[in-house]
Amino acid sequence: MTSRDNLADHILACLRESDAVSSVTIVAPIKNRIVEIERMLRANSNVRPLMNRVQFETITPYLKELWP
């Protein structure tokens, strides 16, 4: 099992089943992985309406901040 295996369930729990979360940011190691994850999520009819509240970033800015 990878973190992608239940990503759609996590997004639904955060954005549809809770009022406490306004958006979700998914951090991935490389841009190609972001494209793959976004494609997977858009294919899910339950997640698709929530995609305007999902952002994607690569991990690079975080690594540069931690280890300049």
Asked if pLDDT for residue 1 goes beyond 70, the answer is no
The pLDDT assigned to 2 comes to: 63
CA distance 5 to 60: 23
How high is the pLDDT of residue 43?
97
Please give the pLDDT value at position 5.
78
CB 59, CB 29: distance < 8 Å: yes
Q: For residue 48, which of 33, 34, 58, 38 has the smallest C-alpha distance?
A: 38
Q: What is the structure's pLDDT at 12?
A: 96
Q: Where are the domains of the chain?
A: 7-66
How is residue 29 written in tokens?
């190691």
* 57-68 mean pLDDT: 93
pLDDT tens figures, 4-26: 779 999 999 999 999 999 999 99
Q: Specify burial of residue 44 (Cβ count, 10 A radius: 0-12, 13-18, 19+).
A: middle
